Amino acid sequence: MVDKKEVAVIGLGPSGVSAAIYLKRYGMVPYCFEKELVGGKVNKTEKIENYAGVKSIGGPDLGMLLEGQLKTFDIKPIYKAVKRVSLNEDGTFHVEYGKDLAHDFQYVLLANGLGEKPFPIEGEEAFHKRGISRCAICDGPLYKGKDVAVIGAGNSAFEEATYLASICNHVTLVARRTQFRADEAVVEAFKALNNVTLLAPYDVVSATGTTAIETLKVRNKETGEEKDIALNGLFLYVGDIAVTNFLDIPELADERGFVITDSNMMTKVKNLYAAGDCRTTPLRQVATATSDGALAATMIHNDYQKNN
């Protein structure tokens, strides 16, 4: 017999944490699955300055605050990856996680965020990707006083390049276009630094190195000119992808893999909700994620009260 108060919350970024808190306050029982760290990708962000009410906060610091809130509400994360979500004949959900573990739920909330878009670089097999990172806050200190490059054109690329410039000797940012996806203020803050170079529009051609990356070859998309950048580390901020391969329920996502929901965060399947970056949404920010999570939890509780 499924306990109808139990809710599977898959992912503990801002949307998942927000939902878990609301669910617990409503008297529901959130089962919170997280394969890495509470806070999700905020832990890989050096600084957040656009969250209302918080002038500026380090990403890992926000992650710790989110984890602390869960402790306040006696919500214990289940640090295991969800392997499969399927639909039972009675309309409940079968959630498989960890190693041969499973549990059935009346409600499931997908809050698993995004995965990292693959970005293969010709020649990287020679040094087995050593010297290539996707997290400046994690690995930046390894390159203190050295030369690094960042690939990307969004807020994350410019913000993390700015952070790296504060500890590295020189930072080169390589962007494929001259129209950046980043906010103007973020771009200008990077350009104002005296130990940075912005290359746009450039494509990455190849990389060379022995035990780690040493040189990155790039090509100007307009002139065809190629140049070599000597570096000690390379940071990739080339975008994210939806991760829905664990969902054994057809036609939940759009053509890009993002989960389709209505304005109440519910998918086409009753009692299956999605919140935050994993769903179709025009904006993916901490502010929208926490709002999604709160609304999804409220809709789940309302359904429970209506039908029980």
pLDDT in tens, 112-142: 999 999 999 999 999 998 999 999 999 999 9
- In this structure, the answer to whether residues 59 and 24 fall within a common structural domain is yes
CATH number of the structural domain spanning residue 49: 3.50.50.60
Q: What percent of the chain has pLDDT over 90?
A: 94
The pLDDT-based confidence of 50 (bands split at 50, 70, 90) is confident
- In this structure, the answer to whether residues 247 and 296 fall within a common structural domain is yes
Q: Which residues contact 277 (CB under 8 A, 6 or more apart)?
A: 13, 15, 113, 114, 240, 284, 289
Nearest in space to 113 (alpha carbons), one of 252, 25, 9: 9
pLDDT in tens, 157-193: 999 999 999 999 999 999 999 999 999 999 999 999 9
Output the CA torsion 149→205→116→118 (10° steps).
-160
pLDDT at 1: 81
pLDDT at 155: 93
Q: Is residue 93 a part of any domain in this protein?
A: yes
Average confidence (pLDDT) over 208-228: 97
pLDDT in tens, 273-295: 999 999 999 999 999 999 999 99
pLDDT at 237 over 90: yes
CA separation for the pair 127, 147 (Å, rounded): 18
pLDDT at 203: 97
CA separation for the pair 271, 229 (Å, rounded): 52
Average confidence (pLDDT) over 32-51: 92
- In this structure, the answer to whether residues 232 and 138 fall within a common structural domain is yes
Q: Is residue 201 a part of any domain in this protein?
A: yes
pLDDT at 47 over 90: no
Q: Is residue 35 a part of any domain in this protein?
A: yes
Domain's final residue, options 202, 236, 270: 236
CA separation for the pair 308, 300 (Å, rounded): 12
Nearest in space to 162 (alpha carbons), one of 144, 128, 138, 188: 188
pLDDT at 135: 93
- The end-to-end CA distance of the chain, in Å, is 14
pLDDT at 46 over 90: no
CA separation for the pair 113, 128 (Å, rounded): 27
How many domains does one find in the chain?
2
Domain's final residue, options 189, 217, 236: 236
Q: Residue count of the chain, please give it.
A: 308
> What residue type is 42 in one-letter code?
V
Residue 149, token pair as written in the block: 């490059």
pLDDT at 79 over 90: yes
pLDDT in tens, 82-101: 999 999 999 999 999 999 99
Is residue 189 within 8 A of residue 173, CB to CB? The reply is no
Q: Is residue 18 a part of any domain in this protein?
A: yes
Q: Is residue 202 a part of any domain in this protein?
A: yes
Residue 306 CB neighbour total at 10 angstroms: 7
Output the CA torsion 290→291→294→296 (10° steps).
-110
Q: What's the gap between Cα 72 and its chain centre?
A: 25
pLDDT at 66: 97
pLDDT at 129: 87
3-state secondary structure of 24: helix
CA separation for the pair 161, 147 (Å, rounded): 12
Is residue 2 within 8 A of residue 103, CB to CB? The reply is no
pLDDT at 49 over 90: no
User: pTM of the full predicted structure?
Assistant: 0.88
- In this structure, the answer to whether residues 83 and 18 fall within a common structural domain is yes
pLDDT at 233: 97
Q: Is residue 135 a part of any domain in this protein?
A: yes
State the burial class of residue 65 (Cβ atoms within 10 Å of its Cβ: 0-12, 13-18, 19+).
middle
pLDDT at 276: 97
CA separation for the pair 224, 237 (Å, rounded): 23
pLDDT in tens, 53-62: 999 999 999 9
Classify each residue of 182-220 as buried b or exposed e, where b means 16 or more C-beta atoms within 10 Å of its C-beta. beeebbebbeeeeebebebbbebeebebeeebbebbbbe
pLDDT in tens, 99-111: 999 999 999 999 9
Q: How far is CA 247 from CA 85, 135, 141, in A?
A: 5, 27, 37
- In this structure, the answer to whether residues 255 and 169 fall within a common structural domain is no
Q: Is residue 1 a part of any domain in this protein?
A: no
The parent domain of residue 160 ranges over 124-236
pLDDT at 65: 97
CA separation for the pair 280, 277 (Å, rounded): 8
- In this structure, the answer to whether residues 76 and 133 fall within a common structural domain is no
- In this structure, the answer to whether residues 266 and 229 fall within a common structural domain is no
Domain's final residue, options 202, 218, 236: 236
